[in-house]
C-alpha cells in the first residue's frame, strides 16, 4: 500500500502549489475588484490572460490529460491532487486550462472526435484560444433521468438537425466560447442507451440562441456563466455527430470517470480552503472569554470537517486509482460514490464556516463563503443530483450481493 | 386545552388571509420584475405604497401591537398566526406595517420612549410615513457575546456622544428611513447589564455615515437593505437616550419576546410556502416513470418537512401564549428555543426544496428558493446565532434541575 | 389558545404525580432486585399487586378511558399528560391498569365487543384481575404492510378457525394473561380493508401455543414478555369474532388514535426521565477541569434534548386535542406524525445520555439507560415502523395539496 | 499510489478468508447454542479450543505482530485488512490469538517488558495458553480525562503497592486469565505524563478481587467479560512495574496506534457483516408490492452504508500506512480520527439494519443485530469516548494551522 504520488505527479504538484502561492492567491482580490468594476463582465481580464500565458509557458497546462502528447503523462491519481490544489481558488482552473466543461469536451474530442473535429476544435481548445460549452440538461424535464431528454438530433439525409432547449450550459457566456457539444435524441426506437447522439455545434451556427443567463445565488459566474440555450432547426453536416448517430451514451460514459474525479477533487480543495477560513476566524475572535475555536461545539465542527475531508479525499483518490488500473468499468460504484459524498461534504463545511463567521459569513463582500456555498449547492445537482448517484451505488451493491 | 385562536384573532387572521390571497400574492411577480427593472432600486414601488394604503384603510395595520389604542388588541398567540400568514410572501410584512426592525423599534418607543420621542418618531412610524433602523451588531467583534459591544454612547454634560461602527443595520437603505435606534457603551464600570444605553438618532444627524450596503447571497434586499454604519462623534441632546443612561439591556429584554415570536412565525410561513413549492414541483415532474414526489426518499423529505413545521409552530405558539399569560420572565427558555429551532428548520426545508427542484432550485430567476435560502441562513445568525440560544436553553435547564 | 389541562385533568395529574413520588419511584430499585432474584420471573411481585390495590382504591385506575362510567371522564388531552407521568417509570403503567396492550384491548371490547364478550373479558380486565395479549404481527412476512398478514380466521359454519403464527405478542407471558385478541384473514376476495377479522381467543383454547419468548437486548420484559404464538386449528364459536367477519381493520382504526397518544406520551415521560439522568451525571462528574455538562458540545446536547421533547410533547397534545374535538378522521396525519417523531426523539436522547454516562451508560446494572434504549428502539418498530408513518404523513400531505 | 496489499499481506489475507469461510462461519450457530446451553458460561468451548489449535498449526497465529520472530512480518496496513476479515465474526479474533486486550498486552510486554516479564507472561500469551486483562478505566471518575485516574501504584521500598477500583476490565472473566496490566498513579507531583506506572499483576495476587461482571445490553460477553476489579493493598516486587515508575503514559502511547487500527478494522468487518445482513433481509422480503430493498429511502440507506464503510476503511488504512512509514508521531491525528469515525459509522449501520429487519431486528435470538449494536455502542466509549478523539483532532488541526 502506498499513499504517495508518483515522482512525476509529486513534481508537478509541487510546481502547481508554488504557482498558486506565487501567482494566483496574490491576485485573487484584484480579480474580484476588477470584475466588480466592469460594466460588461463577460470578458476575460488581462491579469487572467497573462497568468494563462505564464502557466502555459511553464508547462503547467492541460495537466488533466493523461497522455504524454497533449498532457504531461499524469495518472488520474496524480492529477487528482493537483486538481485539489487548483480547487483552492475559483480563478485557478482556467489559468491552467483545466476548467470544466472544457476539460471534458477536450477529452471527448480527443478520444472520440474525427480528425477534422480535432483539427478544427480540439487544437485551439488545447491551446486555450477558444472555450466551449456542453448542452445536455433540459429545463422542461427532470433531467436526473437522462432518458427524459427531449431535445432532438435528427438525421436528415446528409445533415443532422437539432431542436430543443438546454440549460445549465456552463461556459456559454464566455467571449471565447466558440463550440458547443450538444446531446440529443436521434432514434427513439433504439435501445435505451443507443438513442442519443453527441453533436459538435459551432457557437455561431444559425438557430443557436442564448435565451438568458442564469443567476445563481446572485452571481452569473462571469465570464463563463450558465445559459439557457435554444436550438431551432440547427442544421449541420452529419459529420458533426461525434462517432456517429446513437453513440451519445457510450461517449458520455467514457467522459464520466475522470471528470467526476476532477470535479470532486476541486471541491475538496475548496473544502480545505473553507476549513482554513473557518479556523482563521475561529482563532482570531473571542466571545465569552475564549477564542471561538474553543467554544462549545466548535471543536467538534472543526474535527468533523477534517475527518470528512480526509475520508472524501481518500475515496476520490481510490476512485482515481481504480480508473488508472481498471478503467471505468472497474470504478462504477466509486465514481457514483464520490459524486454523492463530496459535494454534500463541502456544503456542510461551508455552512458551518458561515455560522462561525457570524454576520460576516453571509456577506458576499467580506468573505468568499456565500460564493463557496453556491458552488457546493450547485455541485449537488450538476452532473446528476445526489439521489441519482446514491441510487447507482445501491443498485451496484445489490447486484454485487446477488452474485 | 385549546389550540384555537381567540375570536378576535381568528377574525383578523381570516381578513389577512383574504388580503394576501386577493392583493399580495397576485402582485409578487410584478414587484419582482419592477424591482429588477429599476436603475436605482432604493425606492418604494408605487404598487407597494398603494397596497399599504389599502391595508391601512381596512384596519389591517400595526396588528403586532397588542394594545387596542395603536394596534388591534391581539394576543401574541393570535398575532403569531397572522405573522405566519404574512411570512408567506417577502413583500407582505411592510404592507401591513409589520416588518422588522420597525415593529421592534415602535415597541421600544411605545413602552420606553419619552413623550417627545413618541411624538417625533413613533407617530410617523405608526402611520407608516417613515422607516427606521436598529444599530447593535458590530463588525469588529464577535457580537454573539453582547458584552463585546465596543461602540460608545458617552454622556458629556447635557449631551450624549456616539462613536463606533455597526453593521447589519437592517432598513438603513430605505429612502424613508429617518431614525435609528443605536445601542452603545456608556459606563464600562457599571454592572454588566447596566453599561449600555439605547439612543434615538436622526438618520441625518451629523457624523452618521453609511459606509456600504451588504450583499447577501447576491441580494441587497432593496429597498430596505443591511448597512455598515459609522458613527463619528455624533452629538445629540442627552434626552435622546431612551429611559436614561445604562438602561439599554433592560429595554432590549423587554423588546425581546414578541419580536422573536414574530420572526419565527414569519419564518414558519416561509417554510409553509417552501413546502408548497416543493410539493408543486414534486408532483408535476416525473423521473424513472414516477412523479418525483414518490421517488426514493422524497416522501420522507415531505413528511419530515410537515412534522418539523408542525412542531416548530406549536413551540412558537406555546411561547407566545406564555408571553401572553406569564410575560417574558415566564418564557425565557421558550424564547431561546424558538430562535434555535425555527431558522434551522426553515433552512433544512429550503435545502431539500432546492434539491427537489433540480437545476431550477438554484436559479434566482426561476424560483424564489435561493432567496428563501438566504433569508433562512441569515436568520440563523441575526439576533444571535443558534449557538447562543442553545446555550441559553442549556443554562436554564441546568438551573431548573439544580433547584 | 390555552395550553392548560382541564380542571379535572389537572386534579388527576396532581394526584398521579404524588402517587408516583410517594409510592412508585421509591420501590423501583426494590422491584428490580426482587425480579433479578427470582428463579421464575414470570410472576407478578407482591409489591406490584399491593400498589395496584392502592392505586385502584384511590381511584387512580383506568384513567385512560374517557367515559365516566369505566374511567374518570378525562379528555385525551388531559390523560396524555398523565400517561407522560406514568411513562417516567417502567413499573408504573400496570399499577394504574393503564399498560399496553391491555388498554387497547379494553377499548376494543368496550366499543366493539358484544355484551357476552364484555361480561366475560372486559369486566375482569377493567378490574385488573386478568391480563391480555394482542396478536397481529407475523414473523414470516413484512408486517409493516398489514395486507401481508397471512394468518387466517376462517368461518366454518358456526365456528371460526384460526391458523398461523404471530410474534411480538406483548403480555402473553404474564401469569394472569387469559385472553388474546387475534387478527387474521377471513375473506381474501373482499375489499382490502374488509378481509380481516378480530377474534377473542381464550389463552387456554386448544391449539394456542407459545413457541418461545423473545429476548430484546438481553431482556424478556418479564413478567409481560413478547411471545411467538402459534395458532393450530383453533376452533371457536363464530360469536368470538368481534363485530363480525371482515371488521378487523375498522376496529383497528378505531383503536388507533388514543393508543398512539398513550404510547407516545409514555415515551415522552421516559425522555424526561432520561434527560434528568443525563443532567444528573453531567453535573456530578468533572473532566478537564469542568463539569461534563459544560464540556464541548454537551450543552448543545442538553438543549437539543429539551427542544425536541417540548416539540414532540406539543405535537402529541395537539393530536390528543384533535381526537377530542374532531375524532380520528380529523387527526389522521397527527396520529402518524407522533408515532414517527416521538420514538426517534427518545432514542436520540437515550443515545446521548449513554454517551454522557461513559462506561456506566452501557452497563445494565448501573443505570437504566440500556433498558430505556431497548424500549425506544422497539417502539420505532412496534405498531408500524417509522417509515410507514412517514409515508402516511407524506400521502396525506400530497392529498391535501391536490385539493 | 497503490491500494493493494503487499504480496505477503495478500497471501495471509487469502488464507484467513479461507479459514473464516471453511472453519469459522460454519460453527457460529453451534457456538451460540452451546454457550446458551451452558450452566456456567465462563469456560472456553472445545470447538473454540480446537479451532485455535488448527489456526495455530496453520501459522494463522499472532498475525497482529509485525515482527517476523513472533508474528508473520505483516505491515500494519496488511494486517488491517486481515483484522477486518476477523471482525466479521465475533468468535474469530481469539481463534487467531488476535483479540483485545491480549494483543495490546502482548505488545506492551514485547516492546517494554523485562526479560523476566516476557518469559513469565509473554511466552504463554503468545502460545495462547493464558489470557490477560487490562485495568485502566475507573468507575468513580470521568475516565475520559485520563488525569482523573485515582487508583494508586505507590512505590514502597522494593515493592509497589496497588490500591483502587477499575472497571471495564475486559477478559477478566476468562478461566485462563492469569495476568493483569494495571495502570495507576505513582507520583502526583511529577509532570502530568510521568505520574502513572503500568504494573504486571498476577490475576491471583492477594488483594485482587473481581467485585462483579458487567452486563451490557443483556450480555456478559462470556467467557471474556468485563469486570469491576478491586485492588486492595496489592503488594508486588518493584520489578513488576513495566519499564519503571512513571513510564505509564509513554507505554500507553506506544501501545496506542496499532491497537486503534485493529479495533477499527474489526469494527469495519462487523459493518460489512451488518450490511450483508441488511441486504439479505431487504432483498428477501416484500412490502407494498416491492422488495424492501427498493422501498422508499432504503436504497439511500444501503448506499450510505457502503459509502461510509468505504471511507472509514480508507481512513483506517491510511492511518495504518502512516504507522508503518512514519510511526505514531506521524499518525496522531489519524489515530484519533479513526476512533471517532468508525464506531459511530458502525452504530449507524447497525441501527439501520435493525430497522430494515423489523421486529426480527430487536430479537436477540433471531439475528445478531442487537449484539452488533451493543458492540458498536460500547466501542464509542471504550478507549476514550468519541468526544475525546474529536477534541484531539481539533487540537491538532489548530496547531497545524498556527504554524
Residue-wise pLDDT for B122-160, tens only, equals 999 999 999 999 999 999 999 888 888 999 999 999 999
Interface predicted TM-score (ipTM) of this complex, two decimals: 0.97
Dump pLDDT digits (tens) for D316-361: 999 999 999 999 999 999 999 999 999 999 999 999 999 999 999 9
Residue B170 parent element (H or E)? strand B159-170
pLDDT above 70 coverage of chain B, percent: 100
Q: Cell numbers at residue A101, please?
A: 466543461
* Cis status, amide bond into B223, omega within 30 of 0: yes
pLDDT, position A68? 84
Q: Chain B closest CA to A291's CA: distance in Å?
A: 10
Asked whether residue A158 is domain-assigned, the answer is yes
Question: What residues form DSSP beta bridges with C156?
Answer: C159
> D interface mutation test: which of B290, B293, B295, B296 has the most D CBs within 10 A?
B296
Q: Are D186 and D153 contacting, i.e. CB atoms less than 8 angstroms apart?
A: yes
Strand intervals (E) in A12-71: none
- How many CB atoms within 10 Å of residue D316? 33
Q: Kindly determine whether residue A321 and residue D2, on different chains, have CB atoms separated by under 8 Å.
A: yes
Count of other CB atoms within 10 angstroms of residue D29: 9
Q: For cell 390528543, what's the residue?
A: C320
Model confidence at C253, in pLDDT bands (50, 70, 90)? confident
pLDDT digits (tens, 9 = 90+) for B22-37: 999 999 999 999 999 9
Other beta carbons less than 10 A from residue D237's beta carbon: 10
CB contact under 8 Å between A370 and B167, yes or no, is: no
Please tell me the distance from the alpha carbon of residue C377 to that of residue C364, in angstroms, as a whole number. Answer: 16
Is residue C2 within 8 A of residue B1, CB to CB? The reply is yes
Give the separation between CA D60 and CA D54, rounded to whole angstroms: 9
Chain C residues with CB inside 8 Å of B293's CB?
Answer: 394, 398
Q: If pLDDT is split at 50, 70 and 90, which confidence band does C195 have?
A: very high
Q: How far apart are CA C131 and CA C171, in angstroms?
A: 7
Among the partner residues B218, B286, B288, nearest to A217 by beta-carbon distance: B218
Residues 6+ apart with CB under 8 A from D65: D71, D72, D106, D107, D110
Taking CA C240 as the corner, what is the angle to CA C239 and CA C245, rounded to the nearest 5 degrees?
Answer: 75
> What one-character DSSP code corresponds to residue A21?
I
Q: Could you tell me which residues are beta bridge partners of residue D365? A: none
Do B182 and B248 touch, CB atoms closer than 8 A?
A: no
Alpha-carbon distance A391 to nearest alpha carbon in chain B (angstroms): 8
- CATH code: domain of residue C159: 2.40.110.10
**Environment class of residue A165 by beta-carbon count within 10 Å: exposed (0-12), middle (13-18) or buried (19+)?**
middle
* Helix (H) / strand (E) containing B238: none
Element (H, E) at D306: helix D298-326
Please name the member of D167, D362, D382 whose beta carbon is closest to the beta carbon of C377: D362
Among candidates A141, A215, A362 on the partner chain, residue whose Cβ is nearest the Cβ of B365: A215
What is the chain B residue with the closest CA to C79? B1
Please indicate whether, in this complex, the C-beta atoms of A381 and B358 are within 8 angstroms of each other.
yes
Q: Span C59-67, mean pLDDT? A: 94
* D206 C-beta neighbours (distance < 10 Å), count: 11
Q: Inform me whether the pLDDT recorded for D132 exceeds 90.
A: yes
**What are the cell numbers at D138?**
475507573
The confidence band for C147, taking pLDDT boundaries of 50, 70 and 90, is confident
**Rounded distance between C-alpha atoms, residue A317 and residue D345, angstroms:** 21
**Which of these three, A185, A209, A242, is where a domain ends?**
A242
| Whether residues B140 and B232 fall in one domain | yes
Query: What's the pLDDT score for residue C218?
Result: 95
Residues in chain B closer than 8 A to C78 (CB atoms) = 1
Q: Looking at the structure, do residues A138 and A96 belong to the same domain, yes or no?
A: no
Residues C281 and C140 in one domain: no
The alpha carbon of D249 is separated from its chain's Cα centroid by a whole number of angstroms, namely 19
pLDDT, tens only, D364-393: 999 999 999 999 999 999 999 999 999 999
Q: For the segment C261-277, what is each residue's pLDDT rounded down to a tens digit? A: 999 999 999 999 999 99
Do B175 and B196 sit in the same domain of this protein? Answer: yes
Q: Which chains touch C (3 or more CB pairs under 8 A)?
A: A, B, D
Burial class (CB within 10 angstroms; exposed 0-12, middle 13-18, buried 19+) of B280: middle
Contact list, D280 vs chain A (CB under 8 Å): 401
Confidence of residue C71 (pLDDT cuts 50, 70, 90): confident
Please tell me the distance from the alpha carbon of residue B152 to that of residue B90, in angstroms, as a whole number.
34
For residue A397 the three cell numbers come to: 451493491
Residue D216 domain-assigned?
yes
Nearby residues of D353 by Cβ (< 8 Å), 6 or more positions away: D274, D275, D277, D278, D281, D361, D369, D372
Whether the CA torsion D19, D23, D28, D31 is positive or negative: it is negative
Q: Say yes or no to pLDDT of C214 above 80.
A: yes
In a domain, residue B120? The reply is: no
DSSP annotation of D148? G
Is the predicted pLDDT of residue B255 greater than 80, yes or no? no
Is the bond into D223 cis (omega within 30 degrees of 0)?
A: yes
CA dihedral D281, D286, D290, D293 (to 10 degrees): -10
Q: Is residue A205 part of a domain?
A: yes
CATH number, domain with residue B93? 1.10.540.10
Largest CA distance in chain D: 77
Shared-domain flag, residues B258 and B383: yes
CATH assignment at residue C391: 1.20.140.10
> Looking at the 3D structure of chain C, how many domains does it have?
3
Asked if the model's pLDDT at residue B48 lies above 80, the reply is yes
Please tell me whether residues B153 and B94 are part of one structural domain.
Answer: no
Query: Chain D partners of B300 at a C-beta cutoff of 8 Å?
Result: 296-297
What cell does C49 get? 399487586
Specify the pLDDT at position B27.
Answer: 98
Q: What is the pLDDT of residue A71?
A: 85
Residue C271 sits in the same domain as residue C371: yes
pLDDT band at residue B42 using 50, 70 and 90 as cut-offs = very high
Residues D161, D235: Cα–Cα separation, whole Å? 5
pLDDT value for A67 = 84
Contact by Cβ (8 Å): B374, A373 = no
Q: Is residue D215 part of a domain?
A: yes
pLDDT at D295 (0 to 100)? 96
- What pLDDT band is residue C70 in, cutting at 50, 70 and 90? confident
Give residue D49's pLDDT band: very low, low, confident or very high (50, 70, 90): very high
Both A224 and A159 in one domain: the answer is yes
On the question of a cis peptide bond just before residue A223, with omega within 30 degrees of 0, the verdict is yes
Distance from CA of C321 to the nearest CA of B (A): 7
Cross-chain Cβ contact B341/C311 below 8 Å: yes
| Cβ contact D299–B300 (<8 Å) | no
Q: Domain check: are C185 and C101 in the same one?
A: no
Residue ranges for chain A with pLDDT beneath 70: 403
Q: Could you tell me if D354 and D271 lie in one domain?
A: yes
In this prediction, residue A255 carries a pLDDT of 77
The average confidence (pLDDT) of chain C is 96
The three-state secondary structure class of A310 is helix
Residue C122 in any domain: the answer is no
In this structure, are strands D290-291 and D286-287 parallel, antiparallel, or unpaired? Answer: antiparallel
Residues of B within 8 A of C321 (CB-CB) are 1-3
B163: number of Cβ within 10 Å: 17
| Dist CA D204 CA D130 (whole Å) | 13
Best mutation target among A32, A39, A142 (most B Cβ atoms within 10 Å) is A142
**Cα A311 to Cα A341: distance, rounded to the nearest angstrom:** 10
Parent domain of A84:
7-113
Note whether B341 contacts C307, CB cutoff 8 Å.
yes
* Phi, psi for residue A176 in degrees, rounded to 5: -90, 0
Written as one string, the DSSP assignment of C97-128 is T--TTHHHHHHHHHHH--HHHIIIIIHHHHTT
Distances (CA, A) of B298 to B274, B349, C94, C400, D300: 15, 12, 40, 17, 11
Residue C75 parent element (H or E): none
CA distances from C241 to A332, C120, C188, C199, C244 (A): 56, 14, 17, 4, 5
Measure the CA angle with vertex D303, ends D263 and D318; round to 5°. 35
The answer, yes or no, to whether residue B366 has pLDDT greater than 90, is yes
pLDDT for the residue numbered A253: 85
Q: Are residues D88 and D140 in the same domain?
A: no
Taking the C-alpha atoms of residue C227 and residue C133, their distance in angstroms, rounded to an integer, is 9
Question: What chain C residue is nearest to A299 in terms of C-alpha separation?
Answer: C296
Q: Name the one residue in this structure whose C-alpha cell is 494563462.
A: A52
Displacement of CA A346 from its chain's centroid (Å):
14
Q: Which residues of D touch B297 (CB under 8 A)?
A: 296-297, 300
Tell me how far CA of residue D14 lies from CA of B55, D79, D81, D85, in angstroms: 79, 12, 10, 10
C240 Cβ neighbours under 8 A, 6+ residues apart: C160, C199, C200, C201
Which residues have a Cβ under 8 Å from the Cβ of B169 and sit 6 or more positions away? B133, B134, B135, B137, B180, B226, B227, B228, B229
Check: CB of residue A306 under 8 Å from CB of residue D337.
Answer: yes
| pLDDT for B146 | 85
Contacts of residue C202, Cβ cutoff 8 Å, sequence gap at least 6:
C178, C179, C180
Domain end (from A207, A242, A277): A242
Q: What percent of chain C has pLDDT above 90?
A: 94
The alpha helices in D87-156, defined as continuous H runs, are: 92-95, 102-112, 115-117, 123-127
Among B168, B164, B177, which residue's Cα sits nearest to residue B204? B177
Q: Which residues of C touch B2 (CB under 8 A)?
A: 1-2, 321
Q: Please report which confidence band the pLDDT of residue C244 belongs to, taking 50, 70 and 90 as the band edges.
A: very high
C149 CB-contact burial (10 Å; exposed 0-12 / middle 13-18 / buried 19+): buried
Separation CA A369–CA D20 (nearest Å): 51
Residue D47 sits in the same domain as residue D156: no
Half-sphere exposure of D215 (CA within 13 A, CB side): 15
C238: number of Cβ within 10 Å: 15
Interface of chain B toward chain D, CB-CB under 8 angstroms? 296-297, 299-300
pLDDT of residue D367: 97
Amino acid at each position: 500500500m502506498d499513499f504517495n504520488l508518483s515522482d512525476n505527479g509529486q513534481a508537478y504538484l509541487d510546481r502547481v502549489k508554488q504557482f498558486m502561492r506565487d501567482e494566483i492567491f496574490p491576485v485573487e482580490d484584484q480579480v474580484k475588484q476588477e470584475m466588480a468594476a466592469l460594466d460588461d463582465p463577460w470578458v476575460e481580464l488581462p491579469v487572467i490572460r497573462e497568468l494563462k500565458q505564464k502557466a502555459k509557458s511553464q508547462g503547467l497546462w492541460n495537466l488533466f490529460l493523461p497522455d504524454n502528447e497533449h498532457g504531461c503523462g499524469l495518472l488520474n491519481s496524480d492529477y487528482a491532487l493537483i486538481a485539489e490544489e487548483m480547487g483552492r481558488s475559483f480563478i485557478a482552473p482556467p489559468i491552467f486550462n483545466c476548467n470544466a466543461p472544457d476539460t471534458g469536451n477536450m477529452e471527448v474530442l480527443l478520444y472520440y472526435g474525427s480528425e477534422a473535429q480535432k483539427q478544427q476544435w480540439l487544437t485551439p481548445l488545447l491551446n486555450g484560444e477558444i472555450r466551449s460549452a456542453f448542452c445536455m440538461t433540459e429545463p422542461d424535464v427532470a433531467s436526473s433521468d437522462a432518458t427524459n431528454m427531449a431535445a432532438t438530433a435528427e438525421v436528415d439525409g446528409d445533415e443532422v438537425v437539432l431542436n430543443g432547449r438546454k440549460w445549465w450550459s456552463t461556459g456559454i457566456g464566455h467571449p471565447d466560447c466558440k463550440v458547443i457539444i450538444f446531446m440529443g435524441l436521434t432514434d427513439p426506437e433504439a435501445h435505451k442507451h443507443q438513442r442519443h447522439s453527441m453533436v459538435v455545434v459551432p457557437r455561431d451556427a444559425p438557430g443557436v440562441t442564448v435565451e438568458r443567463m442564469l443567476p445563481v445565488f446572485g452571481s452569473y459566474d462571469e465570464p463563463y456563466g450558465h445559459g439557457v440555450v435554444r436550438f431551432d432547426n440547427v442544421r449541420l453536416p452529419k459529420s458533426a455527430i461525434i462517432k456517429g448517430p446513437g453513440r451519445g451514451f457510450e461517449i458520455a460514459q467514457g467522459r464520466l470517470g475522470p471528470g467526476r474525479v476532477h470535479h470532486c477533487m476541486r471541491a475538496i480543495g475548496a473544502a480545505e480552503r473553507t476549513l482554513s477560513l473557518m479556523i482563521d476566524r475561529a482563532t482570531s475572535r473571542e466571545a465569552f472569554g475564549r477564542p471561538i475555536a474553543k467554544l462549545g461545539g466548535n471543536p467538534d465542527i472543526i474535527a468533523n470537517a477534517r475527518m470528512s475531508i480526509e475520508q472524501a479525499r481518500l475515496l476520490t483518490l481510490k476512485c482515481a486509482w481504480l480508473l488508472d488500473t481498471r478503467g471505468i468499468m472497474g470504478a462504477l460504484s466509486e465514481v457514483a460514490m464520490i459524486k454523492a459524498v463530496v459535494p454534500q461534504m463541502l456544503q456542510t463545511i461551508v455552512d458551518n464556516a458561515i455560522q462561525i463567521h457570524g454576520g460576516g459569513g453571509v456577506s458576499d463582500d467580506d468573505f468568499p463563503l456565500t460564493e463557496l456555498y453556491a458552488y457546493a449547492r450547485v455541485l449537488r445537482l450538476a452532473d446528476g443530483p445526489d439521489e441519482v448517484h446514491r441510487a447507482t451505488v445501491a443498485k451496484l451493491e445489490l447486484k454485487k450481493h446477488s452474485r
